[in-house]
Amino acid sequence: MSNVKYQINIMYSDPKDCLYCQNNETLHNLMIEIAHLRVSRAFLFKEQTYHGRCLVAYDGHVNDLNELSDEQRNLFMADVADVTRAMQRLFKPEKINYGAFSDKLSHLHFHLAPKYVDGPDYGGTFQMNPGKVYLSDAEYAEMVEALRKELKAEF
């Protein structure tokens, strides 16, 4: 066995530059807050190529899942599971894809992209922001309210 030590390069971002921590106009142009959960916030993506697409972002500025204590990780993943259950009941996708990329924005968050058999990219990777499907304010409001109602059923 080698005694070679590997250097791990981790990207840490400044909360002052963080989309989720700043809760700014850029964030609100991309998504609509649904609810505050145990240790995170749930959002509906405005770009709806994947009907019902949501995102769950951890409350604190944490760069990666492995930085959380076991208890905080379990609470965060429970939040993610609650949102996917609500999405499953409301939108009935064939599968929900999970994405936790954080290459350019190192704040712990999961993209939740519902996939439908006859829908875009079924059997492949979802696109981050295809920029194709946007809804009316009334349609967003209806989806957010339905998700809030479903999430209340989880608690």
Question: What does DSSP assign to residue 126?
Answer: P
Separation of alpha carbons 26 and 65, rounded Å: 24
Which of helix, strand or coil describes residue 97? Answer: strand
**Residues 126 and 113 sit within 8 Å (Cβ to Cβ):** yes
Domains of the chain by start residue, with CATH:
18-152 (3.30.428.10)
Per-residue pLDDT of 38-86, as tens digits, reads 999 999 999 999 999 999 999 999 999 999 999 999 999 999 999 999 9
Percentage of the chain exceeding pLDDT 90: 79
What pLDDT is attached to residue 3?
A: 54
Higher per-residue confidence, 15 vs 130: 130
Q: Which residue is listed with tokens 């499953």?
A: 88
**Structure tokens that stand for 127 in this block:** 């696109």
Best CA proximity match to 150, nearest among 93, 77, 94, 85: 85
pTM of the model: 0.89
E-only strand ranges, the chain: 31-36, 40-45, 54-58, 95-99, 109-115
**Residues 141 and 73 sit within 8 Å (Cβ to Cβ):** no
Separation of alpha carbons 108 and 72, rounded Å: 12
Best CA proximity match to 40, nearest among 57, 54, 15: 57
